Structure 1
């Protein structure tokens, strides 16, 4: 297959707010449809008589489905229209979310959550590559704004999903979020037609299915960033899956309160961190090519003690403090996940390479819900969540290695005029 190599110039005179708002809404439901399952786990467990290990396995299958499909989805994002890929992805995962409400047992949940995960995998590579093409030197800010949808989606789904489940049953929560996503896909069909992307080159270039993997493994910096991303995903997936249950069981909070609180404090501060990280890195990346990676490395490193605190504290004030500051530093890291990768990635295969990075990170991170669920009866969720801090520490080490040994050489090959302070 062939496609045109469409890229924006290195700077953009205007900021396309309509595109980023539409992508924000899609990403909101991308995350909401993921999180509602985690928030209403106790209802599903009681109604379908599932074990903690089975619930953890369902969450892991969801992440594995994303990890296995993203290399293909990244390739498709590079070869076909990114706008059409986004619409197709939204429609498919929203439909599968809607039908998840009809599940009658473990098998149904595994299949439908697998479909949701695999179809959601098509969104991130296409959307992030699209942002990279459109926003030029404002990419960090655009991606930071886009990333806030992740936090808003998780917070609101935690509150709304739990309230719906308590009042109308857990199935209704899936009908609600899935139905709105289906309607949103129709809006995108109409509005995306009016959004024109800049094209500065009409050169036809071939992109193959294996370009993403090749582009990743040819660059040591990309490999190290992927390992760090895997550490972050491992922590994130484990936290999102079990934090509501942790508060519900340890502090006897209602399901709605536990679901909201576990997501609210963490993601509100992450919202602040990602915007600060995006603006900071956009500004200083112009004079220091390592600024984006430094922001990420310190985000992971400084988040470690607060992950430990949220699991070990016996007072809700300190638990929420840990969740909030863990979220803030997580936001600093999140602001440059793809902008850092794109420093050493050719524009024509950015979706493919980011897909390969997501694949490895999610295949590793998917073990977290199952491991924590398996160890829950013996280790407990408090110690299990606290132990996730070691993964953050390891991730920061990987990025510091890239800063010290690989980044400057690999960026210099593509852009000899970069500043290497």
Structure 2
């Protein structure tokens, strides 16, 4: 029985890894084929940035709802319908013939569908992984890297050879198929009894809100994540176009190189960060937040370097070094949050934290689109580097001011 339990918890990681691969892959398709969409539909850089901004904004608005749903309803079904809806939205994006339909299918349908995946999936992983939590979440996080890198190259290749519409249709169809694999492969698992209160009642909405917002550390972690998300959304939206225009790359090459080195080295960073934090967390409670500070602080200079490197090789080196420290931060993104939130509120807390992040991050595409029009994208990287540095300061303040009183010692409650 113990072996079967062990087998399922890692099989769950595999199933969710593919689902998150598609979640992130669908997101990157748009960024890679921006030049083709602009040419075909005759829309401007600012309008393209607006589509990406509205996608991120709608995601940010819906993700708290998704978090509350993850604490109140069966997470298997939330994950299934999330994957199904955002995949259908991706398919229909391929039929858009103007800015309005791009916003409807891309920003609303795809963004809204994607919002419901992460809180439920991460909460489910946290339920089955205790001592291996950071490792399981880090493995899950690597699908973000793989999904963005692979989809960047594949979408660019399909777009150049078969048109940008076919890129959306292809990924959408695969996502619909995997939604039914999720339905078959994940158990309909309720919250365990030990994670409910003594009467085994589900928490009320107001109870959830009060429990989360009473932990001031959450504010600082969420705002810091917003800084990171601002950088991530801006980077992923405009980096393929930046390489395409600055170094005269093809779309498939720009799609590949804009993400390959960054996420390849992020993979090593996330595994290193997870290994260190899982090993030291029992002895040093604050280690997860300290690792986040390190990742943000040391990543900032390399973001600046990317924008002002005049040689492709040095640009790639900067992407890789930025990736290492981005991965180190990612390794403890939600594991650090879980240090101050008890299990029954975790999906909701992730929803709120993601809302902070994506509402802030939603500003990046349109701001960088405007900066691109006025001064060129190189200047935008100064802003992105500053956002990472600000994020490090915010985590440091949360750690020093509130972490000790907010810490939730899970071992004493099990």
Calculate the TM-score normalised by the size of structure 1.
Answer: 0.93
Work out whether residues 71 and 212 of structure 1, in 8 Å CA contact, stay in contact via their aligned partners in 2: no
Aligned partner of 1:393 in structure 2 is: 389
Question: Residues 201-223 of structure 1: CA distance to partner in whole angstroms, max 9, x if unpaired?
Answer: 67422323345543332111111
Aligned partner of 2:177 in structure 1 is: 183
Q: Which runs of 5+ in 2 are unaligned?
A: none
Tell me, yes or no, if structure 1 residue 374 matches structure 2 residue 370.
Answer: yes
Question: Residues 161-197 of structure 1: CA distance to partner in whole angstroms, max 9, x if unpaired?
Answer: 0000000000000010000000001111111248898
Work out whether residues 74 and 188 of structure 2, in 8 Å CA contact, stay in contact via their aligned partners in 1: no
Q: Per the alignment, do residues 201 and 308 of structure 1 end up closer, same or farther by CA in structure 2, a change over 3 Å counting?
A: closer
Aligned partner of 1:351 in structure 2 is: 347
Q: Per the alignment, do residues 417 and 125 of structure 1 end up closer, same or farther by CA in structure 2, a change over 3 Å counting?
A: closer
Q: Per the alignment, do residues 250 and 294 of structure 1 end up closer, same or farther by CA in structure 2, a change over 3 Å counting?
A: same
Q: Per the alignment, do residues 49 and 213 of structure 1 end up closer, same or farther by CA in structure 2, a change over 3 Å counting?
A: farther
Q: Per the alignment, do residues 416 and 259 of structure 1 end up closer, same or farther by CA in structure 2, a change over 3 Å counting?
A: closer
Work out whether residues 240 and 251 of structure 2, in 8 Å CA contact, stay in contact via their aligned partners in 1: yes
C-alpha distance in structure 1 between counterparts of 2:251 and 2:295, whole Å: 30
Task: Give how far 1:144 is off.
Answer: 0.3
Question: Residues 282-322 of structure 1: CA distance to partner in whole angstroms, max 9, x if unpaired?
Answer: 11111100110111110000001100000011111111111
C-alpha distance in structure 1 between counterparts of 2:363 and 2:403, whole Å: 29
Work out whether residues 67 and 352 of structure 2, in 8 Å CA contact, stay in contact via their aligned partners in 1: yes
Tell me, yes or no, if structure 1 residue 271 matches structure 2 residue 264.
Answer: no
Counterpart of 2:201 in 1: which secondary structure?
A: strand
Q: Per the alignment, do residues 13 and 32 of structure 1 end up closer, same or farther by CA in structure 2, a change over 3 Å counting?
A: closer
Counterpart of 1:357 in 2: which secondary structure?
A: helix
After superposition, the CA RMSD in angstroms is 2.0
Work out whether residues 372 and 384 of structure 1, in 8 Å CA contact, stay in contact via their aligned partners in 2: yes
C-alpha distance in structure 2 between counterparts of 1:257 and 1:117, whole Å: 26
C-alpha distance in structure 2 between counterparts of 1:406 and 1:38, whole Å: 38
* From 129, 146, 170, the counterpart of 1:152: 146
Tell me, yes or no, if structure 1 residue 311 matches structure 2 residue 304.
Answer: no
Q: Which runs of 5+ in 1 are unaligned?
A: 1-11
* From 142, 152, 163, the counterpart of 2:157: 163
Structure having the higher helix fraction is 2
Aligned partner of 1:93 in structure 2 is: 86
Q: Per the alignment, do residues 388 and 23 of structure 1 end up closer, same or farther by CA in structure 2, a change over 3 Å counting?
A: same
C-alpha distance in structure 1 between counterparts of 2:411 and 2:247, whole Å: 56
C-alpha distance in structure 2 between counterparts of 1:375 and 1:403, whole Å: 34
Tell me, yes or no, if structure 1 residue 302 matches structure 2 residue 295.
Answer: no
Q: Per the alignment, do residues 248 and 347 of structure 1 end up closer, same or farther by CA in structure 2, a change over 3 Å counting?
A: same
Aligned partner of 2:25 in structure 1 is: 32
Work out whether residues 83 and 175 of structure 2, in 8 Å CA contact, stay in contact via their aligned partners in 1: yes
The number of residues matched between the two structures is 407
Q: Per the alignment, do residues 220 and 196 of structure 1 end up closer, same or farther by CA in structure 2, a change over 3 Å counting?
A: closer
